[in-house]
């Protein structure tokens, strides 16, 4: 992954904060009312909860770093332009070293996204404005694909909120509601029903592929899965499992390459399984992504 690139998938990331996403008590009731919040050990639960409905961009910096101060100023201006479509959570790692450790941040400034209480790294360093805007756009797209489409009320003097998005089709809403309550099986069933009713429903197909990926990887042990794949390079299930982890970890090209290499040496049902899994990955990443275009060409070559 390049320094400023974000995979277009609902990533679990290195740290899963979903266990923190419990209803906030009355003391935290106002945590979601501002566009810019402070991320501390005391507020992390409220911020994680808020990310279940509106994407949160986490800005980790240091008060002793001029680059951090500059980036914070520009991100603060940017969040106001978007009128509540995302929240900016600033964290001073000097006073909150546990937060930096939880996100495995080695240098600041560092910026991550928090969507559905799951973090995904975005970039490190004082990125240029056009790069930041591009990344924010990708975050909002990923959030929309994951059903995280809420907004927060802008404070006085901020840009007014954009109009509420159009209501989702009933089965799509059913799926997203299931995701919010961590019922991935229910979300899968809803998307499958939507596809039975309309096989050309591209959004339902992409949503189904994403939720299936989340379901397969939700309780996996990273070290065990990678060791199993290394110990048994010919074991199809082991290779599929590690490719799934590559996908949720943002190593999209690695996941594609692993399975395409296996397609070249497989036949029959195994080849069909690999092809179907790759098609799911393509739906997750997006057909217009250049990595998908390249992988489709490589897959066609491997098949024929």
Pair 33, 84: CB distance under 8 Å: no
Statement: residue 119 has pLDDT above 80: yes
Strands (E) across the chain are located at 36-38, 56-61, 87-92, 110-115, 118-124
User: Cα–Cα distance between 194 and 203 in angstroms, integer?
Assistant: 10
Given a contact cutoff of 8 angstroms between Cβ atoms, the answer to whether 289 and 263 are in contact is no
pLDDT-derived band of residue 2, with 50, 70 and 90 as boundaries?
very low
The pLDDT, as a whole number, for residue 68 is: 92
Model confidence band, residue 165 (pLDDT cutoffs 50, 70, 90): low
DSSP-based three-state secondary structure for 162: coil
0.85 exceeded by pTM: no
pLDDT in tens, 249-270: 778 899 999 999 999 999 999 9
Kindly list the structural domains of the chain, giving each domain's residue range(s) and its CATH number in brackets, ordered by start: 18-145 (3.40.30.10), 170-303 (1.25.40)
Residue 150: pLDDT band by 50, 70, 90 thresholds? confident
pLDDT digits (tens, 9 = 90+) for 129-138: 989 999 999 9
74-108 pLDDT, tens digit each: 999 899 888 889 999 999 999 999 898 888 888 89
Residues 6 or more apart in contact with residue 110 via CB below 8 angstroms = 60, 61, 103, 121, 123, 124
> What was the pLDDT predicted at 132?
92
Segment among 24-28, 181-185, 195-199 with least mean pLDDT: 24-28
Report d(CA 276, CA 152) in Å as an integer.
39
**pLDDT score recorded for residue 164:** 62
For the chain, the average pLDDT equals: 82
């Amino acid at each position: 992954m390049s320094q400023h690139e974000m995979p277009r998938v609902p990533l679990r990331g290195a740290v899963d904060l979903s266990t923190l996403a419990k209803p906030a008590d009355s003391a935290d009731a106002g945590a979601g009312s501002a566009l810019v919040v402070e991320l501390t050990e005391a507020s992390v639960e409220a911020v994680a909860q808020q990310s279940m409905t509106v994407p949160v961009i986490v800005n980790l910096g240091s008060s002793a770093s001029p680059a951090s101060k500059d980036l914070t100023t520009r991100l603060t201006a940017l969040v106001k332009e978007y009128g509540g479509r995302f929240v900016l959570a600033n964290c001073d790692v000097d006073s909150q070293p546990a937060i930096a450790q939880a996100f495995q941040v080695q240098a600041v400034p560092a910026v991550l996204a928090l969507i559905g209480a799951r973090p995904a790294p975005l970039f490190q360093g004082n990125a240029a404005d056009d790069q930041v805007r591009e990344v924010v756009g990708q975050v909002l797209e990923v959030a929309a694909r994951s059903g995280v489409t809420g907004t927060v009320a802008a404070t006085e003097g901020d840009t007014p909120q954009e109009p509420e998005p159009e209501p989702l089709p009933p089965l799509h809403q059913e799926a997203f509601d299931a995701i919010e309550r961590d019922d991935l099986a229910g979300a899968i069933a809803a998307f499958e029903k939507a596809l039975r009713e309309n096989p050309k429903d591209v959004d339902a197909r992409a949503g189904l592929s994403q939720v299936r990926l989340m379901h397969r990887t939700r309780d996996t042990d990273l070290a065990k899965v990678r060791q199993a794949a290394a110990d048994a390079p010919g074991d199809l299930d082991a290779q599929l499992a590690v490719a799934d982890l590559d996908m949720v970890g943002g190593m999209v090209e690695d996941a594609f390459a692993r399975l395409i290499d296996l397609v070249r040496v497989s036949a029959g049902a195994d080849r069909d399984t690999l092809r179907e899994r790759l098609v799911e990955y393509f739906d997750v990443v997006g057909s217009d992504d250049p990595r998908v275009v390249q992988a489709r060409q490589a897959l066609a070559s491997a098949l024929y």
